Chains A and B, each alone.
Chain A
């Protein structure tokens, strides 16, 4: 079976530069009703939120409640 050549895209994208998970923020993880977001340690040792499971409902509180505007939910074309 051929390996995937490109990284899988997920609907919830977190801007590492804006994410303040390093300071203890877990707002997006806490508000997600499907519990698909997690906090991970980056290669540089800092922390950032990311989408672990691809099961988004596009309900948007992660984007709306993020205190720094680091989270973007990419809505599928047909939902716009």
Chain B
């Protein structure tokens, strides 16, 4: 008989290693329990979160990344209060790997935590679980003095994509912290309302380029014909990153009237921008832009050349 796998160890046998007198022996037991991928290992790993040795506790928190569900989340929440920062960090990382919505049951009671680290980790953990109950505490967390908390709270609201939270996102889009504004503007992408569009248009004048870039990119999802003139103004932004996103959004919106303004941008000394311009000019296929493209048919960047040739072929096909 062919043996395809090594002898399978019983979970209880593996867990017996957690009683090893040496921390290294217990660490090995934790690794073997994680490698088993058997949910029956979760209670043992949860127990190892309270081990006397910080190395074992850290390994247990890391090992729980391979599992899911409320019990896993509950054990990781315990580890968030560990006395050693490395253990807390490992638990926070593992929490973001949770995918099962039921795991949110263990996180929801901590969304009002007074401890900033716990609050940030639980908000980050519940984000992708998309639990509607998280909306209210997340909106409340937008008033937190820490920008890290506010940014995670915006993430939770953004993932829920609930139109009822639009005003909260609009408020966050005017936050004093640059990164909170950036995340809030990106989160507005789910809404095609006038309110979302006006918040994004206003952000094109943000003093920092990160929110301007996020707004220019998100307008492709939330914006309509009204935002085209604002995106065209963004083509003159000081930062090429903002210009690039404006070009891309104009292409996605099919703004053919902007083609002659995008054309000259292909001559700028930024390959990424040239590549994007070529792709968008091909998408818009305005015959008058052919001369801009033809000048870069032999560009030094292969990606630019490829897009230019594709764009020229589309323009020629449209003209034929």
Contact with B along A1-39 (1 / 0, CB 8 A): 000000000000000000010111101000000000000
Interface residues on chain B, number (Cβ under 8 Å):
10
B59 at the interface (CB under 8 A from A): yes
Counting chain A CB atoms within 10 Å of each CB, which of B22, B24, B25, B58 scores highest? Answer: B24
Contact with A along B49-84 (1 / 0, CB 8 A): 000000100110000000000000000000000000
Interface residues on chain A, number (Cβ under 8 Å):
8
B255 at the interface (CB under 8 A from A): no
For B174, the chain A residues whose CB sits under 8 A away are none
Closest to A69 in B: B55
* Separation of A68 and B27 alpha carbons in the complex (Å): 9
Chain A, range 31-80, C-beta contacts under 8 Å to B = 67-68
Closest to A20 in B: B24
Contact with A along B25-55 (1 / 0, CB 8 A): 1011011000000000000000000000001
Q: With contacts A25-B31, A27-B31 known, is A67 near B25, CB below 8 A?
A: no
* Separation of A42 and B24 alpha carbons in the complex (Å): 18
Known: A20-B28, A67-B30, A68-B55. 15 other contacts (CB 8 A): A20-B24, A20-B27, A23-B24, A23-B25, A23-B27, A23-B28, A24-B28, A25-B24, A25-B27, A25-B31, A67-B27, A67-B31, A67-B58, A68-B24, A68-B27
Query: Top 9 A-B pairs ranked by shortest CB distance?
Result: A20-B24, A23-B28, A67-B27, A23-B24, A67-B59, A23-B25, A24-B28, A25-B28, A68-B55
